Amino acid sequence: MKTIVSKPKLAVLALIAAVGSISLSSVSFFDINKNLDIFGTLYKELNTLYVDTLDHEQLITAGITSMLDQIDPYTNYISEDDADDYRIQTTGKYAGIGALIGTRDNYVIITEPYEGFPAAKSGLQAGDKIIEINGKSVRAYKTDDVSKLLKGTPGSEVTLKIKRLNAEGKEDELPIKLQREEIKIRNVPYYGIVEDSIAYIRLSNFTMRAGQEVHNALQTMENSKDLKGIVLDLRGNPGGLLDEAINTANVFVNRNTEIVSVKGRLKEDSYTRRTTGDAVNTKLPMVVLANGNSASAAEIVAGSMQDLDRAVIVGQRTFGKGLVQTTKPLPYNAKIKITTAKYYIPSGRCIQAINYAERDSTGRVTRLPDSLRTAFKTKSGRVVYDGAGIEPDVITEPEKIHSLTITLYARNYIFDYATLYKATHSTISPAVKFSLTDAEYNDFVKWVANKEYKYTTQSEKILDDLKTASEKEHYFKNIQVEFDSLRQQIIHDKKQDLYKQKEQIKMFLEEEIASRYYLNSGRAEVQCRYDNDLKEAIKLLSEPARMNKILNK
């Protein structure tokens, strides 16, 4: 009988072959051979004796995934089916129409057309429902299925039929013909001059050409204005390519400056990386914005700017990912992404927060306690620490989003109201000045009054926790009268809360509405107006003495 080996099984065999090349001095060959023999025999018996037919691909893939999950979250198996998504994540490129899509009421809808690409150029708008692609109904399709239909060869045509809300509250059916292009997702979705003389650059990813995009953004602003400072916004940036972290740092520091050293088990995985090009500006005072979602390559840039005393870091402590991954090919176009090294920024510190090789008695990983962190020094002698991400020089409080605002956003009522607003308002003022009037906010309150939504305030959560704890400790009967009285006093009123949280809800509405007219640039310009971290950065840049004191200059 002919033996058929599934793709994931071949991936396992490839991993086994790779294991075979490891030196006997570093690992027990007997242990490897023993466990692989057990696995092979187990799978053979399972395949022969199990009562039902097995899905080998699903089973082996689950086994691979579970095995890698025991190591760290970053060592991953990438199947042939997922290889294209992985390529897009690292290159930022694909061929299609250039739009984010989502689902609503069994329709796939446009949630954001990318500026400068076919979707935006053809007039597609956020909120448009896709009902047909090339004459074929896509009602009730999943977003992944629609995404595949929208992608294709650059230059090829695709025809959509959409439903769009009109000013009367009804939906028009419209045909939209587009020509697919190579889409390059921008690493710098927005840059601009704020407060008349501060260069603001938002860097959201580190795919290919990230450093060049930052270079071009700063160069463009320098050519148009006498700048007094730079703000590089790395908040929410999950990282990406190590080379692009070096290239980005190179925009702000001189050629041949050490940015990172990488240390792995193998010689080829240990090296030092320096800048290789000319900087755009090494003199202007600079602030880097960071938060708990700034990770990996973003931490290399933020950390190197801190260690070299090139910039003041403002925001919250970063994520703490100091691990480097290398991608290796497997049979049948699959890949494995393996953690091969740790990186160390210029002061010599590694900012990795979790040691995945050590776990507690329950098998959970733990963060390095502050008492075990080691002190290092920046170029000017400031003390910094390893083992827990990048600690900002100026710590700010993260914005607290009220549960009502979260609910309105999650239920898509803010998105849907922006769709209605766009249908009934042909134009708005420039995004940097756009603001909803009190009357317009009242219209939103009336509109949302008929919508179904529930939320729990922080006070109600605390009371619920008190009830649970007191019942467990058998005290609740003693306090029930007082508890019920207090509960009655804090029961929230939806309409009242819509006005209590007006400024916050209004901010989200203005962002979404501005994006309908000016796309992502409009959204960013509204966000900048409300951004407390950015305001702190601008204030800091206007205080040279304070900047110099922080940087020990």
Write the CATH number for 179. Answer: 2.30.42.10
Query: How high is the pLDDT of residue 492?
Result: 60
In this structure, are 110 and 206 located in the same domain? Answer: no
In this structure, are 160 and 248 located in the same domain? Answer: no
Residue 307 bears catalytic tag:
yes
In this structure, are 351 and 447 located in the same domain? Answer: no
For residue 136, tell me if it sits in a domain: yes
- Mean pLDDT computed over 499-516: 97
Angle at 238 between CA 12 and CA 532, to 5 degrees: 165
User: Given pLDDT bands bounded at 50, 70 and 90, which one contains residue 430?
Assistant: very high
Query: How high is the pLDDT of residue 369?
Result: 77
Counting the structural domains of the chain, the total is 5
User: Given pLDDT bands bounded at 50, 70 and 90, which one contains residue 2?
Assistant: very low
In this structure, are 162 and 310 located in the same domain? Answer: no
Q: From the candidates 296, 304, 347, 515, give the one annotated as an active-site residue.
A: 296
In this structure, are 262 and 303 located in the same domain? Answer: yes
Residue 145 bears catalytic tag:
no
pTM over 0.75: yes
Phi, psi of 124 (to 5 degrees): -60, 140
Query: How high is the pLDDT of residue 364?
Result: 81
In this structure, are 140 and 209 located in the same domain? Answer: no
For residue 222, tell me if it sits in a domain: yes
65-85 as b/e: b if 16+ CB within 10 A: eeebeeebeebbbbbeeeeee
In this structure, are 163 and 38 located in the same domain? Answer: no
CATH code, domain carrying 325: 3.90.226.10
Query: How high is the pLDDT of residue 116?
Result: 94
Calpha distance 294→174 (Å, rounded) = 41
Q: Which of 184, 202, 221 is the last residue of a domain?
A: 184
In this structure, are 304 and 417 located in the same domain? Answer: no
In this structure, are 310 and 368 located in the same domain? Answer: yes
Query: How high is the pLDDT of residue 29?
Result: 76
In this structure, are 463 and 444 located in the same domain? Answer: no
Q: Which of 309, 523, 318 is CA-nearest to residue 428?
A: 523
Question: Would you say residue 315 has pLDDT above 90?
Answer: yes
Calpha distance 319→350 (Å, rounded) = 13
Minimum mean pLDDT range among 10-19, 225-234, 395-404? 10-19
User: Model confidence over 33-81: pLDDT tens digits?
Assistant: 888 899 889 999 999 999 999 899 889 889 999 999 989 999 999 988 8
* Domain around 25: 7-70
For residue 370, tell me if it sits in a domain: yes
Residue 477 bears catalytic tag:
no
Question: Would you say residue 19 has pLDDT above 50?
Answer: no
Q: Which of 398, 416, 437 is the last residue of a domain?
A: 398
Q: Which long-range CB contacts under 8 A does 494-497 form with residues at least 24 apart?
A: 494/404, 494/449, 495/445, 495/449, 497/402, 497/404, 497/457
For residue 86, tell me if it sits in a domain: no
Q: Report CA 369 to chain centroid distance, whole Å.
A: 26
Calpha distance 286→201 (Å, rounded) = 11
In this structure, are 143 and 223 located in the same domain? Answer: no
Calpha distance 242→226 (Å, rounded) = 32
Q: From the candidates 321, 393, 531, 533, give the one annotated as an active-site residue.
A: 321
User: Given pLDDT bands bounded at 50, 70 and 90, which one contains residue 90?
Assistant: confident
For residue 212, tell me if it sits in a domain: yes
- Mean pLDDT computed over 262-274: 93
Q: From the candidates 72, 128, 233, 307, give the one annotated as an active-site residue.
A: 307
For residue 85, tell me if it sits in a domain: no
Which residues are 201's β-sheet partners? Answer: 191, 232
For residue 80, tell me if it sits in a domain: no
For residue 551, tell me if it sits in a domain: no
In this structure, are 417 and 345 located in the same domain? Answer: no
